[in-house]
Amino acid sequence: MSDSKLVVGLAQIAPAWLDRVATIDKVVAWISDAANKGCDLVAFGEALVPGYPFWVERTGGAAFESTLQKELFAHYVSQGVCIEDGDLDPVCDAARHNNIAVYVGVMERAANRGGHSLYCSMVYIDRSGNVGSVHRKLMPTHEERLVWAIGDGNGLRTHKLGPFTVGGLNCWENWLPLPRAALYAQGEDLHVAIWPGNVRNTEDITRFIARESRSFVVSVSGLMRREDIDASLPHADLLIETADDVMANGGSCVAGPDGEWLLEPVRGSESLSVVEIDHARVLEERHSLDVVGHYSRPDVTRLIVNRKRQTTAEFSDDD
């Protein structure tokens, strides 16, 4: 890391699908690889640990009181990530050992919400191995709402990383203008967008956000193929039968603050893409447009953001 430059790694990998421990082991290995290639930051796809719920739209996920759906959901929750229980400690240790920052998408079993629902969370871990923020996806998309709970604004935070201020969002919430603005207002100039994986999601919005914000935008996708479904999973035969050969084809990419490609979408295979970015380019492009600075009118339009972590109950105990 120089005074103005940062090296970013895009880890486009498939999970050990619906297996938390095995997927975390894989993430740790790719963190080490990214560090060995000189990365200051490495990012992984949405819901990577333990994987995206690809079965929902293929197996009648909306069927009420379905024994099949209950059993699949129960397994999914059992493989979720409870940060308070130390499930991400191996990732934190790898970040600290390798002196590298990490963004990783997880299915979070939130301790403050009872631990039996899943939140699609984007976790930032700094170079010292500390969890800096946990952003629970504000609004799950379409069939995701059948298995994911609705998040809150607590994780709408940015982090200093070398010359940059980094923030990020999950998948389609990158299309939401106000959460983007909440990050811009905190000085974000490196935006990380994480996705379960498809070029159709990343090829337009990555360049659009870059041009809007005059920031670097890194889109990191996962992969998912029929071959990634383990035969030991509950209802494995049905999951394999209803799967497509490729359900998530990647699409990881990087756009500069002028909206031009630094890395065109990568598809079809696991890969670690390494891109060096220069903060000086942000300053150059902010000359003509700075949407929360000289080109804003806070006297006319302003955004109010509630970052209180939502919980069902607040307890007051006598000493």
Give the per-residue pLDDT at 1.
60
Burial of 275 (0-12, 13-18, 19+ CB in 10 A): middle
Give the per-residue pLDDT at 318.
79
In a structure prediction context, what are the per-residue pLDDT tens digits for the chain, which is 319 residues long? 668 999 999 999 999 999 999 999 999 999 999 999 999 999 999 999 999 999 999 999 999 999 999 999 999 999 999 999 999 999 999 999 999 999 999 999 999 999 999 999 999 999 999 999 999 999 999 999 999 999 999 999 999 999 999 999 999 999 999 999 999 999 999 999 999 999 999 999 999 999 999 999 999 999 999 999 999 999 999 999 999 999 999 999 999 999 999 999 999 999 999 999 999 999 999 999 999 999 999 999 999 999 999 999 989 997 7
Looking at residue 220, its amino acid is V
Lookup: tokens for 273: 């893409």
Buried b (16+ CB within 10 A) or exposed e, 5-14: ebbbbbbbbb
169 vs 215: CA distance, rounded Å: 14
Domains in the chain and their CATH numbers? 5-285 (3.60.110.10)
Report the DSSP pairing between strands 190-195 and 164-170: parallel
Looking at residue 144, its amino acid is E
pTM for this predicted structure = 0.96
Give the per-residue pLDDT at 49.
98
Catalytic residues: 46, 137, 171
**Within the chain, what is the greatest distance between any pair of CA atoms?**
59
Residue 85 CA to chain centroid, in angstroms?
21
Give the per-residue pLDDT at 158.
98
Q: Which of 94, 57, 55, 97 is nearest to 75 (CA)?
A: 55
Residue-by-residue DSSP string for 298-314? TTT-------PPP-S--
